[in-house]
Structure 1
Amino acid sequence: MTAPGRDEDDDPARLFTLTGGRAKASGAAAALDLITLVSSVAEPVAGMPSEHAAVLRLCRRPTSVAEIAAHIRVPIGLVRIMLSDLLDNGAITIRPPRTAMAADSDTLPDSALLRQVLVGLRDL
C-alpha cells in the first residue's frame, strides 16, 4: 500500500537506478527550465531504460520538460538528469520556446491592425 499522494513508481531504488546515483544534471541540461522544448532525433534502441525510450517516443514532436515529467511520472530533477544523458548521446535536441519578443518584427502583426481588430471586437 502506498501513502496518499504517492505512486508505487516512486520507489527510491528505481529512481536511483534511473540516474545512476547522480543528483544533478550535467552540461546544457543542467540549465533546463520547465518550458524548454525537447525533440528526439533518434529512435529507442534495445537495452535502453524504458523511461529513456518513453522520452524519445514522447518527444517526436517538441515537448516541454514539464510535460515529459508528467507523462512518464518522474520528478523534474530526475527528468533533467535523464535528458542530460540523452543529450550527451545525441538522441535529443533542446531549445527554448519561441516568444513574441524573440520573433522577427516582420512576422509580428502591425500594431495598427491589432488596434482595428480590438475595436471590431468591442463593437460586437
Structure 2
Amino acid sequence: MLTAGRVAGSGAAPPLPVETQIVATPDGLSALRSLAFERRDIVAACRRPQSVAELAARLHLHLNVVRVLAEDLCAAGHLAVHVPNAGTVHDISVLRRVIDGLRAVPDSRGSLRDSG
C-alpha cells in the first residue's frame, strides 16, 4: 500500500544500494507539514545524512519501501541522494559502519545486537 505496488528498481535505474546516503533538502524540510505519514517521517528523520539501511531500521519500514519512497521524495526535491562510488561500495569499512549504525538504532522489540 505504501508504494502503490511499485518495487525498488522497477524503472530504468537499479534500486538504491543500502549504503546510499540520503539527507533532507531545505525544500523537503519546508514541506514537512504537507507530507503524509511515512514520507513525512522519512524527510524528518533525514535532517542528518544516513544510509537507506539505517533509515529503514530506524523507522521500522521494509528496506524496499524506503527505497521506493526515497526515490519519490528525491524526484520531488525533498531528499538529496548520494550514491557512493564503486570503490567505496567494496570497502569493508563502509559495510562495518553501516552495520554499526544499524546496531545503534534503538529497537523496541529487542536489541539488534542480539540478532547476529
Name the TM-score class by shorter chain: 0.5 to 0.7
Aligned counterpart for 2:71 among listed residues 63, 81, 84: 84
**Alpha-carbon separation, structure 1, partners of 2:49 and 2:12:** 20
CA contact (8 A) 2:8 2:16 kept: no
Q: Aligned letter for 1:53?
A: R
Flag the 1:83–1:27 CA change in 2: closer, same or farther, 3 A.
farther
- Provide structure 1 residue ranges, at least 5 long, that are not aligned to the other structure: 1-15, 103-124
User: Does residue 45 of structure 1 match 2:33?
Assistant: yes
- Deviations 1:87-118 (CA, angstroms, capped at 9, x unpaired): 1101101113589x67xxxxxxxxxxxxxxxx
CA contact (8 A) 2:3 2:69 kept: yes
Q: CA shift at 1:20, angstroms?
A: 1.5
Tell me how large the CA RMSD over aligned residues is. 2.3
Identity of aligned residues (%): 29
- Provide structure 2 residue ranges, at least 5 long, that are not aligned to the other structure: 89-116
SS in 2 for 1:74: coil
Q: Aligned letter for 2:72?
A: D
How many aligned positions are there?
Answer: 83
Flag the 1:57–1:98 CA change in 2: closer, same or farther, 3 A.
farther
SS in 2 for 1:33: coil
